[in-house]
């Protein structure tokens, strides 16, 4: 699951955004820029949502620092709607600018769009499992674990799409390609093997069967 950082000096706003996005993302909150930097140092954050008006370092300054030092996307979320404020935000490097009041659904659309522009992460973490796509590598509790290529690609696809359900057809197209001439039982066989490997090393993730649909991965 990807991680969001929500930076705002208003507690109610932090809690509202955290609750509204928490179903889809792991959320971290900070009351000001200095606390935000502490969170960034201690966690792998995928996107920051930053207010402009805060005590100490303002949101423009924090945005510029995040872009320079952490190279992650930023969405400014603020009541300030003047053109000059937007200009300063984009000059600081923000990827999007949302004014309060706002619809949570729209904020989610914008988060998804910004993350999509940045592309998928090469390193995916879920529970105690780390999947490194470029190296075809899996680690459980920091220990290397071997997966044959197709099993790796299947696990990687499920983790990348957590917590969504993928149909067998979607998995076949992604892992085996459109010209695959086998049947859906191939997916079932590979899932069974992956489950066995994960169970042997006390993995904190499981592959769940969604009857009549397909599979999804869950963090237990």
Task: Write the CATH number for 176.
Answer: 1.10.10.10
Query: Looking at the structure, do residues 134 and 189 belong to the same domain, yes or no?
Result: yes
pTM tops 0.85: no
The pLDDT score that the predictor gives to residue 142 is 86
Query: Looking at the structure, do residues 24 and 110 belong to the same domain, yes or no?
Result: yes
Cβ–Cβ under 8 Å, residues 216 and 164? yes
Query: Looking at the structure, do residues 60 and 18 belong to the same domain, yes or no?
Result: yes
Query: Looking at the structure, do residues 90 and 131 belong to the same domain, yes or no?
Result: no
Domain boundary (118, 139, 170) is at 118
Query: Looking at the structure, do residues 169 and 73 belong to the same domain, yes or no?
Result: no
The pLDDT score that the predictor gives to residue 47 is 95
The pLDDT score that the predictor gives to residue 27 is 96
Query: Looking at the structure, do residues 114 and 152 belong to the same domain, yes or no?
Result: no
Query: Looking at the structure, do residues 88 and 12 belong to the same domain, yes or no?
Result: yes
Cβ–Cβ under 8 Å, residues 92 and 61? yes
The pLDDT score that the predictor gives to residue 121 is 54
Domain boundary (83, 118, 153) is at 118
List the beta strands (DSSP E) in the chain: 3-7, 26-30, 47-50, 74-78, 96-99, 123-126, 129-132, 137-140, 143-145, 166-167, 205-210, 214-219
Separation of alpha carbons 178 and 189, rounded Å: 19
Query: Looking at the structure, do residues 33 and 140 belong to the same domain, yes or no?
Result: no
Domain boundary (85, 118, 151) is at 118
The residues near 68 (Cβ < 8 Å, ≥ 6 apart) are 93
Query: Looking at the structure, do residues 150 and 175 belong to the same domain, yes or no?
Result: yes
Domains of the chain: total: 2
The domain containing residue 155 runs over which residues?
A: 123-219
**Per-position pLDDT tens, the chain of length 220:** 678 999 999 999 999 999 999 988 899 999 999 999 999 999 889 899 999 999 999 999 999 999 999 889 999 999 999 999 999 999 999 999 999 999 999 999 999 889 878 765 578 889 999 998 877 889 999 899 999 999 999 999 999 999 999 999 999 999 998 888 888 899 999 999 999 999 999 999 999 999 999 999 999 8
Identify the sign of the CA torsion 83, 89, 94, 100: negative
Query: Looking at the structure, do residues 127 and 114 belong to the same domain, yes or no?
Result: no
Query: Looking at the structure, do residues 169 and 184 belong to the same domain, yes or no?
Result: yes
């Amino acid at each position: 699951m990807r991680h969001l950082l929500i930076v705002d000096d208003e507690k109610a706003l932090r809690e509202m955004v955290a609750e509204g996005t928490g179903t889809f993302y792991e959320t971290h909150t900070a009351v000001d820029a200095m606390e935000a930097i502490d969170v960034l140092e201690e966690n792998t954050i995928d996107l920051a949502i930053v207010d402009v008006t805060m005590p100490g370092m303002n949101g423009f300054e924090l945005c510029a620092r995040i872009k320079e030092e952490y190279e992650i996307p930023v969405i400014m979320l603020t009541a300030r709607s003047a053109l000059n404020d937007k200009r300063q935000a984009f000059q600081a490097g923000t990827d999007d600018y949302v004014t309060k009041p706002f619809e949570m659904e729209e904020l989610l659309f914008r988060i998804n769009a910004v993350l999509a522009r940045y592309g998928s992460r090469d390193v995916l973490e879920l529970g105690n499992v780390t999947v490194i796509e470029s190296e075809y590598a899996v680690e459980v509790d920091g220990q290397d674990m071997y997966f044959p290529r197709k099993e790796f690609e299947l696990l990687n696809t499920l983790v990348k799409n957590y917590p969504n359900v993928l149909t067998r057809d979607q998995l076949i197209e992604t892992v085996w390609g459109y010209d695959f001439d086998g049947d859906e039982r191939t997916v079932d066989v590979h899932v069974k093997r992956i489950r066995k490997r994960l169970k042997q090393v006390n993995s904190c993730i499981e592959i769940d069967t969604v009857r009549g649909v397909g599979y999804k991965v869950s963090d237990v």
